[in-house]
Chains A and B, each alone.
Chain A
């Protein structure tokens, strides 16, 4: 019998194997650090110190994690329906436009708690709209969603640069960005939440969208495991022929799943645009859409797993900044190396250790 079909207990499948993948990815990253001539252990302790050593560090870690929860959920919802959405990056970028337009229109007139729900809807609708065309092409014309979403990332980038340079730019300014939102368009920071735990937030832009992200994770959990639509999506994800046989409408589910995925990606924009910089800037997404792929894979496409892995990647981002500050030899791009390795081992090579695990498990069970 093939080892792939031997059932393993959940703690091995969802705990030990991902942990093992993560450890291997970190060992290789450590090797790279060693190759450069720095101590991997010193780098690791700097990473932890940078991410958790101060209230400000924790604030930054959670700020990054907030963005990654949104994009991770976005990727996961699509994966449950058997769709690989590489376009979260572009959808988040366009979502930022929706969010900024709402903030620019309302910030003179109403307080933030009125602006925020409308901005969430705006960001969601813009993100979903950007996901709609690839979804439609996949559902109705059979064009591969991976290819079309990649194309749409680049189209989004070109469109946004055009809008920021030619349309939304503040007259007389050089920087391609919108004007700064007034207080009515800014999300308040969560300093009070941090002070409950006795930590000071400092300059970290940790803000209300973290709570929205947690709510979104809860919503995704309900959607995927507690609704008919979620069941249909998962059926489609396991086997599209079985789904068709069961009378599940392929085109409809594909489009709905991608709309939800795009909306979640779009909502990520709340965090950097309204929560941090209070304006729309070029390339504000900064690769968070792609990090979402790693976050979702690492979290096994489960909202709870995604929250934990988003915090892990937040740690890497904030701690990585700290390392590059303290060890000038190691640049910030070390994060990309670790990220690539995590994606490789947790995603593409996820079954590499499985046969060995099955072997050991069977030995133990016999003993």
Chain B
């Protein structure tokens, strides 16, 4: 295998591994920009993966699976909203609770319903999102450099992949070019001002967490019925936290979020690729180095060594009207 083939290989798995991160990090973006911390991204992702796999298996339809994933994730968002917006509870605690609950209930229900140790049964091909071959992919395959790039990286992904990359400019447009986005960002910085302007802080924040729920639903669905062909227990495996790291790494901005997710996806792809391989001068690099790198990078960023990451000012603080 020559170096270009390896490059294409790593690049295409980078794309695959980044998609759930992009959806989830954008979800966190909406929530945190409105002042609601969301540690529960991991749980929402896992819950929607389970719901999507169950419904796709029972109905045989990938689209119904997606719908179920989104509904499940939005429901969890509403629980988070009820606890942290209506009841002014601790947002971190609520997120932790959701993660625990989902980690348990997916396995308990999966085992009770399907009896395969918490897995869902293998999905039929039509119950999944299949790869889409873009026009001309076969024709250009033999053209050097561009051909393989188009055929193996740009073409041949499923529809959710393309949606993820569309979700980035769309999120940017919503947050920076619509009235809703302006108010959403305002409520994360200064809810008091938004309240004074006669706009409901609670309703705005509820809508923000619902946006987060929808996006998390896409990421979970991607995991279960696009990337894999079944729900496997604990299949989100910390990706929700990586997405959170990417969100911080991108300083809470949509386009940098995409690049941060691609970077973390690339590290993941590289870790898979480097397993058992020798690097000149260094020898074998332990896979754990790549696994820890996103977290280490984020901490270094947070320490202010590569620019300063300033979170939304009102993040994590419940809004009390009568103060």
Contact = CB atoms under 8 A, between A and B. Distances in A.
A290 B108 contact: no
Contact of A158 (B93, B288, B304): B288
A143 B302 contact: yes
A162 to B, nearest CB: 4
Given A155-B292, A158-B291, A344-B101, A290 B87 contact: no
A290 B302 contact: no
Nearest to B242: A154
A349 B83 CA distance: 6
B62 interface: no
A202 to B, nearest CB: 28
B213 to A, nearest CB: 17
A37 B98 contact: no
A347 B248 CA distance: 25
B131 interface: no
Most chain B CB neighbours (cut-off 10 Å) among A133, A297, A335, A347: A347
Interface string A314-357: 00000000000000011101111111110110011111100000
B102 A340 contact: yes
Residue of A165, A166, A331, A350 with most partner-chain B CB within 10 A: A331
Interface of B, helix, strand, loop or mixed by DSSP: helix
Contacts of A343: 93, 96-97, 100
B303 interface: yes
| Best-surrounded residue of A150, A151, A155, A165 (most CB of chain B within 10 A) | A151
A41 interface: no
B61 interface: no
A23 interface: no
Given A148-B299, A347-B89, A341 B101 contact: yes
Given A155-B292, A329-B112, A337-B108, A137 B303 contact: yes
Most chain A beta carbons < 10 A, residue from B37, B104, B296: B104
From A294, A333, A341, residue with most partner B Cβ within 10 Å: A333
Interface string B83-121: 110011111111011111111110111011000001000
> Most B CB atoms within 10 A — which of A133, A144, A349?
A349
Contacts of A351: 87-89
Interface in B44-90: 79, 82-84, 87-90
A228 interface: no
Nearest to A297: B93
Interface string B266-280: 000000000000000
Interface string A165-207: 1100000000000000000000000000000000000000000
A116 B79 CA distance: 45
A159 B241 CA distance: 17
Interface string B285-323: 010110110011011001110000101000000000010
Contacts of B94: 344, 347-349
Contact of B238 (A154, A293, A334): A154
A333 B302 contact: no
B244 interface: yes
Interface range, A side: 35 or more
Contact of B97 (A35, A335, A347): A347
Contact of B100 (A84, A141, A154, A336): A336
A293 B108 contact: no
Contacts of A137: 299, 302-303
Contact of A331 (B102, B108, B304, B309): B108
B245 interface: yes
A158 B286 CA distance: 10
Contacts of B296: 151, 155
Interface in B151-205: none
A86 interface: yes
Contacts of A348: 83-84, 87, 89-91, 93-94, 97
Most A C-beta atoms less than 10 A away, residue of B111, B244, B245: B111
Contacts of B292: 154-155, 158-159
Contacts of B245: 147, 151
A2 interface: yes
A154 B241 contact: yes
A150 B288 contact: no
Contacts of A337: 100-101, 104-105, 108
Contacts of A330: 108, 112
A334 B244 CA distance: 27
B111 to A, nearest CB: 5
Contacts of B107: 331, 333, 336
Interface in A27-61: 32, 35-37
B21 to A, nearest CB: 14
A36 B112 contact: yes
A35 B105 CA distance: 12
Contacts of B241: 150-151, 154
B39 interface: yes
A47 to B, nearest CB: 15
A239 to B, nearest CB: 13
A348 B105 CA distance: 19
Given A2-B322, A144-B311, A340 B101 contact: yes
Contacts of A344: 79, 83, 93-94, 97-98, 101
Contacts of A22: none
B288 A336 contact: no
A290 B103 CA distance: 13
Nearest to A28: B101
Contacts of A350: 89
A1 to B, nearest CB: 10
Contacts of B288: 158-159, 161-162
A297 B97 CA distance: 12
A34 B33 CA distance: 40
B214 to A, nearest CB: 22
- The residue in A32, A329, A347, A348 that gathers the most chain B C-beta atoms within 10 A of its C-beta is A348
B96 A290 contact: yes
Nearest to A334: B108
B235 to A, nearest CB: 14
5 contacts: A32-B108, A293-B93, A348-B93, A348-B94, A348-B97
7 smallest CB-CB distances across A and B, nearest first, come from A336-B104, A340-B101, A340-B100, A348-B94, A143-B302, A348-B89, A344-B97
